[in-house]
Structure 1
Amino acid sequence: MANPPDRDVPSSPAADDGMRLSGTDRVEGFSDAVFAIVITLLVLDLYDPHHGPGELVPGLAAAWPAYVAFLVSFVYVGVIWLNHHGLFRRIRRMDVGLLWINLAILFSAVIVPFPTAVLGDALGDEGNPHGQRVAVVLYALVAAVMSAPWWGVFTYLRDHPELLQPGVSPRYLQTQRIRPLTGLAMYVVCGIGGWFIGPAVGVVCIAVVILYHALTCEGLHEGPLGRLLGVAGRR
């Protein structure tokens, strides 16, 4: 029986144009480990509330802001992982530039626990509406900044098609470059809404943008949202 191809074997000099290329196995394994650690760290902000005899239920209920912040960020990191997984199903080889962009994506993921903790603490301080608005704006700002490496990765792949699996269309890369810019604009709107209208509006808006990225993780036209729009367009 023939041995399966090793994805980490460098391509030939003719194929890589003199640059060292490698497979994606190590990068995917390292990235998955980072996502797993980040998503686990989020639970550290859930705490056992101080309570007297018979006051456990009210104490747990009073900690609802921490639960909301945890749930939003857990789904958020999960959606980032889904997008990362969808991306790497279309990548055949890695070069140094793509490795650095992947590190930027991971960096944007590992900072999620920080705005999560700030948001949970602020929402629990009902007497400080200004702090709540600041926390929502911070979360939205961090999320907007996180869009930058995603725009960068699809732009880089557009300019380096040799790194892609056969059959990846230019249309896919073009639409995927639009998604981070759309997300950035939407997160800015969420921050503005959270500041001027109310923190609850900002949090709901952020959740909607996360849902948008979840529905389009395979692409604007390839994912569930694209299929829904296609069905609606045929009616």
Structure 2
Amino acid sequence: MSVIKEPKASHREFELERLILFSDAVFAIAITLLIIEIKLPAFPARYSSQDYWELLKPTAMEFFVFTASFVFIGNFWIRHLNLCRFLQHYDNGLIHRNLFFLFFIVCFPFSTSALLKTNAHFMLPFFIYLCNLAGCLAALFWISYYVFQRNPDLAAPGHQTEKELLYQRCKYGFLTMATGFTCIVLIYFWYPENAAYQRASYFAIPLLAVFNHFRLKIKKRNTLRLVHKMSSSQ
């Protein structure tokens, strides 16, 4: 009868490093693929300089969408990095949740290119892009919940305040996107012909983001105050 031996600590550390390096490679490839499709248009031999803007307008829009997606992916990488900073072990549950998160990162080049096809009569690409953002935030929250709440042994001991604040940041980010996206979809469903209401619904996500940002700052201040009070009493 064969017995599977528990890998040594050095091997476990190497395997965890492979998980993180694989994630970094996926981020790097996804963020690079964003720029590949952006190309300058062909300029005619005789073209008025006043008409250059009309010729460059589609490229400028593509670059704006690329910049937004670059910022989003960069922000997700920072959050993922901060989360991995606390890891000391891994299991199959963490691997599967991390792959689920990377799936939505890989989808960014597709949803970014689709976003450029959005217009007043075809909003599906815009909803696909929002679903991509919501999926990333949901997966990050799922990972943080799994590591910090369900299986705290996966994380290094100590730093409870930092862990709690990182978990709350992931939770509020997911709730902000999920609530805002739901509001936008409901407005389009209830008022399919009212363009003013539809445009106003776009402000739901940034307003909720600002609200939850200050809510998180208050929670952080109260948490740090409580930690300081407990340490001073000891």
- Same topology, TM > 0.5: yes
Which residue identity is paired with 2:153? E
- Asked whether the 8 Å contact 1:144–1:188 carries over to 2, the reply is no
Q: What's the offset of the Cα at 1:32?
A: 0.9
Q: What's the offset of the Cα at 1:98?
A: 0.8
Moved more, 194-203 or 175-184: 194-203
Q: What's the offset of the Cα at 1:22?
A: 4.5
Among the aligned pairs, what percent are the same residue? 27
Aligned Cα root-mean-square deviation (Å) = 3.5
Which residue identity is paired with 1:70? F
1:82-141 deviation per Cα after TM superposition (whole angstroms, max 9, x unaligned): 11011111111111211111111111100011111011233xxxxx4212x322222112
Structure 1: 5+ residue stretches without partners = 1-8, 13-19, 123-127, 231-235
- Asked whether the 8 Å contact 1:69–1:116 carries over to 2, the reply is yes
Structure 1 distance, partners of 2:167, 2:77, is 21
The one of 176, 179, 187 equivalent to 1:185 is: 179
What is the TM-score normalised by the length of structure 2? 0.69
Which residue identity is paired with 2:90? M
Structure of greater Rg: 2
Richer in helix (by share): 2
SS where residue 117 of structure 2 aligns?
Answer: helix
Distance 1:116 1:140, change over 3 A: same
Moved more, 150-159 or 59-68: 59-68
Q: Which residue of 1 aligns with 2:81?
A: 85
Matches within 5 A, 1:1-235: 10-11=8-9, 22=13, 24-52=16-44, 53-54=46-47, 56-122=52-118, 128-131=119-122, 133-157=123-147, 158-169=149-160, 171-172=164-165, 175-176=168-169, 178-179=171-172, 180-190=174-184, 197=195, 208=206, 220=216, 226=220
Distance 1:176 1:144, change over 3 A: same
1:66-85 deviation per Cα after TM superposition (whole angstroms, max 9, x unaligned): 12211111111111101101
- Asked whether the 8 Å contact 1:118–1:135 carries over to 2, the reply is yes
Count, aligned residues:
199
- Asked whether the 8 Å contact 2:101–2:135 carries over to 1, the reply is no
Distance 1:144 1:32, change over 3 A: same
